[in-house]
Amino acid sequence: MIKTYVVDTNVLIQAPYALNCFDDNLVVLPVVVLEELDNLKKAEGEKGANARKAIRFLEQLRHKGDLLEGVELEHGGTLRIEKNFVDVLLPPDLPDEKMDNRILKVCKGLGGEVILVTKDILLRIKAQIIGIPAEDFTTEQVSEGEEQYIGRIDIYAPEEGFKEFKKKGIAIEKVYITNASGDKTTPELNENQFVILKADQSSKKTVLGRVKGERIVPLEYLKCKPYGVTPRNAGQYFIQEALMQPSDVAPLVIIKGVAGTAKTFYSLAVGLEKLMNAPAGEYRRILVCRPNAQFDSDIGFLPGDEQEKISPLMRPLIDNLEQLIDSNEEKRYEDEEELAGKIEEIFERGLIKTEALTFIRGRSVVKTYLIIDEAQNMTPNQVKGIITRAGEGTKIVLLGDPNQIDRPFLDERTNGLSYASEHMKGSSLCWQIALHAEECERSVLAMDAGKRL
């Protein structure tokens, strides 16, 4: 049975290709959506770019037929623009002049099996109040939090297999996991998945490894101390392994975890190790970007040059550099002027640069160690744009916590970090790891808060 979907503007702003995602059903755009797209087409950043993409798509359809009558879509179904139903009555608490309520009028006036598709939770609630079914745009949604890929697993192996592990690794067919009943099963493992391998006869025998083809192999960088930093837990050993790999082996690294698990700290440590302590010309620079919901849309209106505009958002970067530049916790802040001078020198030499995501658009980034901090505040479309900007010799590191999202219309299932994680799972070019709350190393309080709050 053909359904009718009424699509809100915010769906197109986040996913400009969305109109092709409704199979063979009827898609209706209220004329007010065209007005909102018109108002947004000159906006800065991704919002304006996506509005323009949606407008260009509608122009292509206009050449194919009458949009008021309906035009066939590429993947089946029909799109039409609806300009009627302005006289449909809504409850008095929903004023006519609000754009959202004009969309509700169209839904109510169409009658039949009409479903409103919007990213706006409050609009979905208002739709329910007046009896209109409403849904989120689910095409970009990934699994619930606990079901999302974490890039690591605890498994068991026969004790005799540990003797040759450092030289040959162990075949996947020899390892197993157990269920609540104690039954053994062979786990489904993904390429580059990290493994805590435990001997089935001795709780004290544990090794760290990684899935490579049909075997689990030892970590290559287990004994490294990038920029003097020593891993403190299994998660950090896994981070180190992924980050230390050259860009042609691991061009994309995704690290998820709560605050205090050293995601940014360790990423910077490896970047500085590659540029300063082992300058083999692998990377030209470290480039750090940090998306921010309000900042990305308003950057063009802020005073100052690019660096002055983004400096408030990069304070966490400075905090991490202070710890890396001077590892002596007791004397680190005795001479803050000297410490600030050392950090300023790194920036003046061009070893580290900071940029806004807005300025990455359309560029090809070559031989760069690119860190995207707080990547959970990116949309799926943004993260796709970043990854496809990777030029020769570039390594992209996506960092973030899917539970800490500041951007409207994004959640744990629709943010760019989770989207990239689920869709790149199993790729030989992508290495992933999710850090546990108990691996927080910031402070005892931070660890306790991460578990409780």
Cα–Cα distance for residue pair 321/79, rounded to 1 Å: 52
User: Which pLDDT does position 297 carry in this prediction?
Assistant: 46
pLDDT digits (tens, 9 = 90+) for 9-24: 999 998 999 999 999 9
d(CA 294, CA 316): 18
Q: How far, CA to CA in Å, does 134 sit from each of 137, 413, 416?
A: 10, 18, 23
DSSP element (H, E) containing 294: helix 293-298
Which residue, chain included where needed, has tokens 């796709």?
A: 384
- d(CA 212, CA 311) in angstroms, rounded, equals 41
Place of tokens 């991704």: 46
Give residue 333's pLDDT: 60
Phi, psi angle pair for 128, to nearest 5°: -65, -35
Tens digits of residue pLDDT in 30-86 = 999 999 999 999 988 788 989 999 999 999 999 999 999 999 998 889 999 999 998
C-alpha pair distances (Å), 182 with each of 177, 178, 185, 206, 342: 9, 5, 10, 20, 56
In this prediction, residue 171 carries a pLDDT of: 93
Q: What pLDDT score was predicted for residue 310? A: 57
- How sure is the predictor about 296, in pLDDT bands with cuts at 50, 70 and 90? very low
Here the tokens at position 426 are 């199993």
Whether this prediction's pTM lies above 0.75 is answered by: yes
Residue that wins the pLDDT comparison between 304 and 121: 121
Burial of residue 394 (CB within 10 Å: 0-12, 13-18, 19+) is buried
Angle in degrees, 0-180, between the axes of helices 315-325 and 263-272, rounded to the nearest 10: 60
pLDDT-derived band of residue 292, with 50, 70 and 90 as boundaries?
Answer: low
Helix axes 380-387, 416-424, angle to 10 degrees: 60
Per-residue pLDDT reduced to its tens digit, 86-122? 899 999 999 988 999 999 999 999 988 999 999 999 9
Q: What is the pLDDT of residue 396?
A: 97
Give all domains of the chain, ordered by start, each with its CATH number: 4-135 (3.40.50.1010), 142-218 (2.30.130), 235-452 (3.40.50.300)
Mean pLDDT of the chain: 88
Dig out the tokens for 186 from the structure.
């062979």
Q: Is there a contact between 95 and 101 (Cβ–Cβ < 8 Å)?
A: yes
Check if the beta carbon of residue 170 is closer than 8 Å to that of residue 197. yes
CB atoms within 10 A of CB 176: 16
Looking at residue 327, what is its pLDDT?
A: 63
C-alpha–C-alpha distance, residues 102 and 87, integer Å: 10
Burial of 10 (0-12, 13-18, 19+ CB in 10 A): buried
Q: For residue 449, what is the DSSP state?
A: H
DSSP secondary structure code for residue 262 in this structure:
-
- Give the model confidence (pLDDT) of 266-283 as tens digits: 999 999 999 988 777 899
Q: Is 50 exceeded by the pLDDT of residue 230? A: yes
438 three-state secondary structure: helix
Is the pLDDT reported for residue 180 higher than 80? no
DSSP state of 275: I
For the stretch 412-434, pLDDT in tens is 988 999 999 999 999 999 999 99
CB 256 within 8 Å of CB 434: yes
Asked whether residue 143 carries a pLDDT value surpassing 80, the answer given is: no
Helices (H), 187-262: 234-244
- Band (pLDDT 50/70/90 cuts) for residue 326 is confident
Please list the residues that pair with 354 across neighbouring strands: 288
What six digits make up the tokens of 328? 């002596």
Q: What is the DSSP string of 368-431?
A: EEEEETTGGGS-HHHHHHHHTTB-TT-EEEEEE-TT---STT--TTTSHHHHHHHHHTT-TTEE
Length of the chain: 453
Average of per-residue pLDDT across 311-324: 79
Tell me which of 42-56, 291-305, 307-321, 361-375 is least confident.
291-305
CB 50 within 8 A of CB 113: no
pLDDT value at residue 305: 54
Q: Is 100 helix (H, G, I), strand (E, B) or coil?
A: helix
Does 356 have pLDDT greater than 90? no
Residues of the chain with pLDDT > 90, as a percent, come to 59
- Rounded distance between C-alpha atoms, residue 385 and residue 308, angstroms: 25
Three-class SS of 133-194? CEECCCCCCCCCHHHCCCCEEEEEECHHHHCCHHHHCEEHHHCEEECCCCCEECCCCCCCCE
Rounded Cα distance between 435 and 361, Å, is: 30
Q: Is 40 helix (H, G, I), strand (E, B) or coil?
A: helix
Question: What does the pLDDT look like over 188-217, one tens digit per residue?
Answer: 999 999 999 999 887 778 999 999 999 999
Helix (H, G, I), strand (E, B) or coil at 361: coil
